[in-house]
Structure 1
């Protein structure tokens, strides 16, 4: 400080000293110590509320506010974000647990000063800057632990801006599928959009989000709105939205085709339902993977006795046989069982169920004779693994069709 300044009154000297400090800050670019690194992954299993708080807060902490002198004195501008409803990573389904995850993550995001939470809907697409994807699934290595993955992608750049993971102790979570996924005949995991969603949830910040998923977000929002209507038993309204989604360039997804099948079946439009299921099968065959949830009586190769469950099976078999014959593919029919009984017993039972399906398909279309083989894997590839033998683990009693050349 110059000698001239010492001659000034004390108050003025104090004021000029503060101004000098401020000017130094401006010249130096307001440099401060770099923030501590944010932990993206927590491996300790905690309660569900704690796990969601850890992952969501970590996600938000990775979103940096704009750096400028004025930004320190201005109220931060909130960035609009919407969450595409989470999925079970093993099955690709929405369940009571994934819906609980959605609710708690959205509530936690709403507490973040830099984020404004929007509903996942078509009307939000014009405003949203970010989209959050999330998964929760039981760990195979630790059956009493669930793994949570959250990722936040920027819609404009298509890149993952933040990602976080945590683990929750099993608190007797309700993993019952929602109505749409309970009723669906097919295993949706092999759909490109669903797989892209699941991949995006585990991508590191800076990586591009899966393009097959991100390019179809608008259609996915429409499909999700239709699915909410289906879950509310508003089948006619849901059918209209599923059809609207299919009419868009990105709308031909397994979930929209399947929605047209389900709503038509609920409305008693059997012919339209069968035609829609044929398209579901054709898409599965084109993807070289198709899983169908045939439910059998316990310990038997007979279909489930309740016709409310097994009533559509004749339609399913007819369309699988017809589409497979038309595309001239060869298939391995793979049977699965739930986790009840010994491994040897379930291996035998799953092979018998696969052979039973093979015979039914060959009777529907003799052209398939010699183009299929049956095998069983018991419960070694369970997706749910609870062994409850009811609708909640019906995916574990599925039959898969592995497609190959002849």
Structure 2
């Protein structure tokens, strides 16, 4: 099916199940949506935004149901919570939707549909487009697991424990996407000071908002904390933009001017934590596989050399790996902002050899 039709079918099936369990016609039930995500990259995209609109429109058409915002107030009122993901599948994208009873945490309905690959617009929303890193961490993975949970199962415990923070992250990210950077920064900073809010989306938001406001010193400090968090999680994926077929960074300084600072902070944080790392290069899927393997390996070596200039001790504590296009997160082959996560460099913590 087209993406629009698949999303409509999945939303219809979920609402039909919800109406079957919602009670008599005199009862009304508030429904909220934690915005759907691309399962591989953790991003919100034009396609996931379209899916969100279709779900919302379907709920608003249904008797007994009230569609309310996903924020702290909405979370306090809601009886049901919708989560959803868009995962790559053979020949297309698999839409998975789950309906969670907010009070019990039980998944009470689940629906799924398969959309043709070429009908989903995977362009990332502003926050994810601007992000220097791929935002997948354990909080994102917990959300994805909940979106695919079967009816009758408990939603992921880690996801449920951070649902309040997720609602505030959603509000902060909407402020960022609207260009209201000072307000977004205040929300992200407040979240970062809490145990449940200290996660990659929040630290990334602090960095992005400071960068947009021209606060270079605060932005570098925030990026250092973002790197330290990733290394503590044993994996950090950074979106370095290279010129096609080259190990040179993209020539547009508006896109690459921060790379020197990124490399400085990666080197500093890796040295301070005394870790050993695999530096893993990736490419988009355009071009022959053997060419991509070689190119990704050379890009990983280029990054290692840059880090070693910043901190010589990292030369002995890092090794390079070229993955070509075998671990694409998007797989569109468009070589633009859409598949920027495919042209990333991963820093993966490994055991140091004696």
Specify if TM > 0.5: yes
Once the two structures are TM-superposed, the CA of residue 171 in structure 1 deviates from its matched residue by 5.3
Q: Say whether the 8 Å CA contact 2:15–2:58 is kept in structure 1.
A: no
Equivalent residue number for residue 57 of structure 2: 107
Residue by residue over 1:83-118, the C-alpha shift from the partner in whole angstroms, topping out at 9 and shown as x without a partner, is: 011111111101111111100111012222232211
In the alignment, the residues of structure 1 paired with residue 278 and residue 157 of structure 2 have an alpha-carbon distance, to the nearest angstrom, of 31
In the alignment, the residues of structure 2 paired with residue 370 and residue 168 of structure 1 have an alpha-carbon distance, to the nearest angstrom, of 47
Residue 123 of structure 2 is aligned to residue 176 of structure 1: yes
In the alignment, the residues of structure 1 paired with residue 66 and residue 105 of structure 2 have an alpha-carbon distance, to the nearest angstrom, of 19
In the alignment, the residues of structure 2 paired with residue 172 and residue 204 of structure 1 have an alpha-carbon distance, to the nearest angstrom, of 27
Equivalent residue number for residue 80 of structure 1: 30
Once the two structures are TM-superposed, the CA of residue 249 in structure 1 deviates from its matched residue by 3.0
Flag the structure with larger Rg.
1
Residue by residue over 1:269-296, the C-alpha shift from the partner in whole angstroms, topping out at 9 and shown as x without a partner, is: 1111111111111111111111000010
Match of 2:264 among 281, 305, 318: 318
In structure 2, relative to structure 1, the CA distance for the partners of 1:373 and 1:171 (3 Å cut) is closer
* Range that drifts further, 107-116 or 125-134: 107-116
Higher relative contact order (CA 8 A, sep 6+): 2
TM-score (norm 2): 0.95
TM-score (norm 1): 0.84
Residue 290 of structure 2 is aligned to residue 344 of structure 1: yes
Equivalent residue number for residue 331 of structure 1: 277
Residue 9 of structure 2 is aligned to residue 62 of structure 1: no
Q: Say whether the 8 Å CA contact 1:80–1:130 is kept in structure 2.
A: yes
Once the two structures are TM-superposed, the CA of residue 170 in structure 1 deviates from its matched residue by 4.0
Q: Say whether the 8 Å CA contact 2:210–2:219 is kept in structure 1.
A: yes
Q: Say whether the 8 Å CA contact 2:11–2:54 is kept in structure 1.
A: no
Equivalent residue number for residue 107 of structure 2: 160
In the alignment, the residues of structure 2 paired with residue 274 and residue 298 of structure 1 have an alpha-carbon distance, to the nearest angstrom, of 28
In the alignment, the residues of structure 2 paired with residue 66 and residue 169 of structure 1 have an alpha-carbon distance, to the nearest angstrom, of 32
Once the two structures are TM-superposed, the CA of residue 133 in structure 1 deviates from its matched residue by 0.6
Equivalent residue number for residue 153 of structure 2: 207
Equivalent residue number for residue 275 of structure 1: 221
Equivalent residue number for residue 46 of structure 2: 96
- Structure 2 gap ranges (5+): none
Q: Say whether the 8 Å CA contact 1:76–1:113 is kept in structure 2.
A: no
* Range that drifts further, 240-249 or 277-286: 240-249
Residue 343 of structure 2 is aligned to residue 397 of structure 1: yes
Equivalent residue number for residue 322 of structure 2: 376
In the alignment, the residues of structure 2 paired with residue 231 and residue 244 of structure 1 have an alpha-carbon distance, to the nearest angstrom, of 18
Q: Say whether the 8 Å CA contact 2:276–2:351 is kept in structure 1.
A: yes
Q: Say whether the 8 Å CA contact 2:28–2:65 is kept in structure 1.
A: yes
Residue 96 of structure 2 is aligned to residue 149 of structure 1: yes
Q: Say whether the 8 Å CA contact 2:14–2:110 is kept in structure 1.
A: yes
- Give the secondary-structure state (helix, strand or coil) at the position aligned to 1:236: helix
Q: Say whether the 8 Å CA contact 1:56–1:164 is kept in structure 2.
A: yes
Alignment length (residue pairs):
351
Q: Say whether the 8 Å CA contact 1:386–1:393 is kept in structure 2.
A: yes
Once the two structures are TM-superposed, the CA of residue 60 in structure 1 deviates from its matched residue by 2.6
Residue by residue over 1:62-90, the C-alpha shift from the partner in whole angstroms, topping out at 9 and shown as x without a partner, is: 334477xxx5xxx3312111001111111
In the alignment, the residues of structure 1 paired with residue 213 and residue 149 of structure 2 have an alpha-carbon distance, to the nearest angstrom, of 41
Equivalent residue number for residue 208 of structure 2: 262
Equivalent residue number for residue 238 of structure 1: 184
Once the two structures are TM-superposed, the CA of residue 57 in structure 1 deviates from its matched residue by 2.6
